[in-house]
Amino acid sequence: MPIPNQLPHDFEWGFATAAYQIEGAVDKDGRGKSIWDTFCHLEPSRTKGANGDIACDHYNRYEEDLDLLSAYGAQAYRFSISWSRVIPLGGRNDPVNEAGIAFYNRLIDSLIARGVTPWVTLYHWDLPQALHDRYGGWLNVEESQQDFERYARLCFERFGDRVKNWITLNEPWIVSIFGYATGINAPGRSSINKDASEGDTSTEPWIVGKSLIMSHARAVRLYNREFRASQKGVIGISLNGDYYEPWNAEDDRDKAAAERRMQFHIGWFANPILLAKDYPECMREQLGERLPQFSADEFSLLREAEVDFYGMNYYTAQFARHRSGPPSETDFLGNVDELQENSDGVSIGERSGVHWLRSCPDKFRKHLTRIYRLYQKPIYVTENGCPCPGEDKMTRDEAVRDTYRIKYFETHLDAIAQAINQDAAVVKGYFAWSLLDNLEWSDGFGVRFGVTYTDYDTLERTPKLSARVLKQLFEERMGRQAQKLCQEQDSRAYQSESPKPRM
């Protein structure tokens, strides 16, 4: 009899990180500045006084961190490459930094030596500052995609003999909206944020979105044309997006608002990238000429840039309530209100240690099923995790007993199993966010998402209970199927090696 909530025997799991959040060593061995180096040193601070100058010092302590992966039983590790560490000035005609290449070679080789599969994200928000200064970075659609393609080529050439799993971009929605609409992330451009001195929220995020879409497409087309046959890898993208329920389940306007919000959140990127289609119709209707057009040649490129999987970053869900008036020029949500309680005052889920995240595993299952139904690509959950309530104020000894996180992981793994076994969604893997407590971008070092406690004064790492329990959860959910598979493989091997009877 099958065990409840079992996962496929070949389900892949591990942990995820991002370069700027953990590496540190920002001026070591020839690394150039990124937009996050600049943003974190603005005065007054936009990151609660924190910066990534040292972060978790992963650049110097990576062997220690990879030992944690081994101890936790991880099969895979998702990390990002710092663009400005390998091409300090970022551009297609700029020199390569061999010391930066050597660091990632050491990291990749150390993972493989431990039996851990590397998953590489090319871009996790840290654009080289030189490109932003040179032509506006992502605000220049033509220049940015050419430079990103050259950067991708360098990575495929230098690492692709060992790296077989590629993610082009992490969360282009966050890059576009938080960087160029609200201005709470680097480079901090906004016309609605009092702390921002530059930017146009009504136009810039949509330009940046197109730059990211076309840069992704260039990298995938390049891989498909020149590297796939010899390297035999896979390539995809990681998109973030909450799941939305109608604020009033009986109101058709709120039902439409929930769907519209997901189209503005996910369809914006998923429709062109996964379907080679135009942006969702609701976006065209609201944004008009502010939403860039795709040319016939660009659609041709998108069709050629077929991906292998959908990387899903999921943390929480929300309620969507329609707005009765017309949208403002700076609206980027789809003319809806986002709420954590519905019209009856019922919470979307249990509160976590950060205001925007509530635990909603039932909505996660719906999200997985919806995304697979719409885009028909195998899903890898490339980020999922949470901070515990009050964890930012706990001592180390208190923080390592992270029972809330354990429950979050357990219920969300159950949701994956239900989506697979009952809803016929194809979900192939899971990466917990994050391996370490780290720099949580504009939230600084307060919010802790790691399964490993980081002491930011001593940089000592201490495993939390969730790290051990997560390993146990996967062993329980995959154990019987994995055992059966091994038995079948052993049987086939025995039969093939047994002497054949003479005729």
Number of domains in the chain: 1
Whether 383 is catalytic is yes
- The reported pTM is 0.95
Q: For residue 35, give both structure tokens.
A: 């937009």
In the structure, what pLDDT confidence band is assigned to residue 494 with cuts at 50, 70 and 90?
very low
502, part of any domain: no
More confident residue, 481 or 35: 35
Residue 290: closest CA among 200, 213, 191, 215: 200
Domain assignment of residue 200, yes or no:
yes
- Within a domain: residue 188? yes
Residue bearing tokens 């208190």: 398
H-assigned helices in 384-464? 396-399, 403-421
| Assigned domain for 1 exists | no
Q: What is the pLDDT of residue 4?
A: 66
Q: Which residue in the block uniquely carries the two structure tokens 């938080």?
A: 178
Phi-psi label, residue 378: left if phi above 0, alpha if psi -120 to 50, beta otherwise: beta
Beta strands in 114-161 (DSSP E): 117-123
Per-residue pLDDT tens over the stretch 47-97: 999 999 999 999 999 999 999 999 999 999 999 999 999 999 999 999 999
In a domain, 432, yes or no: yes
Average pLDDT over residues 279-294: 98
What is the rounded distance in angstroms from the CA atom of residue 262 to the CA atom of residue 419?
19
Average pLDDT over all residues of the chain: 95
Residue-wise pLDDT for 105-147, tens only, equals: 999 999 999 999 999 999 999 999 999 999 999 999 999 999 9
Cβ neighbourhood burial of 85 (10 Å; 0-12, 13-18, 19+): buried
Residue of 23, 149, 171, 410 with catalytic role: 171
Amino acid at site 80: S
The CATH number covering residue 297 comes to: 3.20.20.80
Q: What pLDDT is attached to residue 497? A: 36
Position 484 pLDDT exceeds 80: no
Q: Could you give the dihedral angle defined by the CA atoms of residues 368, 369, 374 and 375, in that order, rounded to the nearest 10 degrees?
A: 50
What's the CA gap between 490 and 19, in Å, rounded?
Answer: 41
Count of Cβ atoms closer than 10 Å to residue 421 Cβ: 15
Please identify which of the residues 298, 383, 391, 440 carries the catalytic annotation.
383
What pLDDT, on a 0 to 100 scale, did the predictor assign at position 117?
Answer: 98
Task: Map residue 167 onto helix, strand or coil.
Answer: strand
User: Token pair of 133, please?
Assistant: 């200064």
CA distances from 76 to 66, 108, 117, 165 (A): 11, 11, 4, 10
Tell me the CB-side half-sphere exposure of residue 119, using CA atoms within 13 A.
30
Dihedral sign, Cα of residue 388, residue 390, residue 393, residue 399: negative
The rounded distance, in Å, linking the Cα atoms of 159 and 445 is 31
CA 487 to chain centre: 36
pLDDT at 479: 77
Please tell me the distance from the alpha carbon of residue 440 to that of residue 238, in angstroms, as a whole number.
18
Write the pLDDT tens digit of every residue in 391-415.
999 999 999 999 999 999 999 999 9
Considering the domain boundaries, does residue 500 fall inside one?
no
Indicate the SS3 state at residue 193. coil
Residue 2 lies in a domain: no
Domain of residue 271: give its range: 12-493
Task: Tell me if 22 is assigned to some domain.
Answer: yes
pLDDT digits (tens, 9 = 90+) for 298-351: 999 999 999 999 999 999 999 999 999 999 999 999 999 999 999 999 999 999
Residue 170 has pLDDT above 70, yes or no: yes
CA distance 363 to 92: 43
